[in-house]
Amino acid sequence: MTTAIQHREDLTVSSSPPARPAGADPAPPGRRLRAPGRALGVGVVGLWLSVIVLLPLAALTVASLEQGLAGSWEAVTSPAALAALRTTLLVSAVVALVNSVMGTLIAWVLVRDHFPGQPIINALIDLPFALPTIVASIVLLSLYGPNSPIGVQLNATRWGLIVALAFVTLPFVVRSVQPVLIELEREVEEAAASLGASASTTFRRVVLPTLAPAIISGTGLAFARAVGEYGSVVLIGGNLPRETQVVSQYIQQQIEIDRPVNAAAVSVALLSVSFLTLFVLRLWGSRSQRRQERTS
C-alpha cells in the first residue's frame, strides 16, 4: 500500500516539469487520482510503439549488421546504392520544396477565397491518401507515358518521379497549414495594414512567420513520405539505375537478387536520413511554435 502511494508520488513529481521534493507539496486530489491513469497510458503507448515501430526497426538494424559494420558500410557506399540514395534525396527535396509553396497557396485559396465547387476541391485534396499509389502510377503513366495523349512524356525521367511524388504528398502541407490559417485572425493583418504595411509586407512579416511551424512540419512529412515512396514511382520512374532508380526500388532489387543484408543496410541508411530530417524540422518548427503559444 505504502509503496503504491510512494510510486504514484514519484510519478506525479517526475512528470511535472518543475521538480518538487516528493511529499513536500502534496499533489491536489484530482492529480493523484489521475496518476494511475497516466501510468496506464504511458504503458500502453510504450507497448504499442515497441510492437509496431521499435521492434521491427531493431530487427532491421540487426539484420543489416549480419556481415559486420564494414559489410553494411560497403553495401551502403556501393556506387549503385549511393546513386539511388542521391536520386531519392534530390527528388524528395525538390518535391518537398514545391509542396511547401504550392501546399501553402492551395491552403490559402481554400481558406480565404470562396468560389463555387470549393467543398469538392477541398475533398479532392485528400484523394492521394485514399488512392492505392500503384493506381496513381498507372494513371500518370497513361497520361505522361510513351503514348501520352497530351504529348508530354515524362516516363523514365526524374521529372516523372517528381510529378508522381508531388501527387502522393500533396495533402501534407495543405492539411497542416489549413487549420492554422483558419485560426489566424484577420485583425492581425488589419493591424499591420493600419500601421502602414502593404499586403506583401504583411504577408512576409506577419502571416508567413505565423504559418511557418505548420509549413515546416507539413514539408517534413511530405519529404519523409517521398523518401520512402515505392508504388507511385514504380511504373513512371522506369527504374533506371543511376538515373531514376530510387532507394525503395534498389532495395527491392537487392531482395530479388537474394542480398537481404544489403537491402537491410541501405534501409537503415535511408531510415537514419529520414529520421534526422524529421527530427531537425520538428525541432525548428517547435521552437517557433513555442513563442506563439499562449502560456495562460
283 binds another protein per the rule CB under 8 A: no
d(CA 118, CA 109): 9
Residue 295 neighbours by CB distance under 10 Å:
4
- Spatial CA neighbour of 145 closest among 159, 133, 131, 132: 159
Which residue, 114 or 291, has its beta carbon nearer to another protein?
291
Choosing from 47, 147, 209, 242, the residue that interacts with another protein (CB under 8 A) is 209
d(CA 278, CA 223): 9
Half-sphere exposure at residue 204, Cβ-oriented, CA atoms within 13 angstroms: 5
185 binds another protein per the rule CB under 8 A: yes
d(CA 158, CA 151): 17
Which residue, 25 or 293, has its beta carbon nearer to another protein?
293
d(CA 123, CA 133): 18
Choosing from 25, 113, 187, 256, the residue that interacts with another protein (CB under 8 A) is 187
Binding flags for another protein, 84-103, as an x/- string (CB under 8 A): --------------------
Contact 247, 227 (CB under 8 A): yes
Which residue, 153 or 289, has its beta carbon nearer to another protein?
289
25 binds another protein per the rule CB under 8 A: no
Contact 103, 167 (CB under 8 A): no
Write down the least CB distance from residue 193 to another protein, Å: 5
Stretch that binds another protein, among 20-28, 100-108, 125-133, 198-206 (CB under 8 A): 198-206
18 binds another protein per the rule CB under 8 A: no
Which residue, 78 or 210, has its beta carbon nearer to another protein?
210
List residues binding another protein (CB under 8 A): 185, 187-188, 190-198, 201, 205-206, 209-210, 212, 288, 291-296
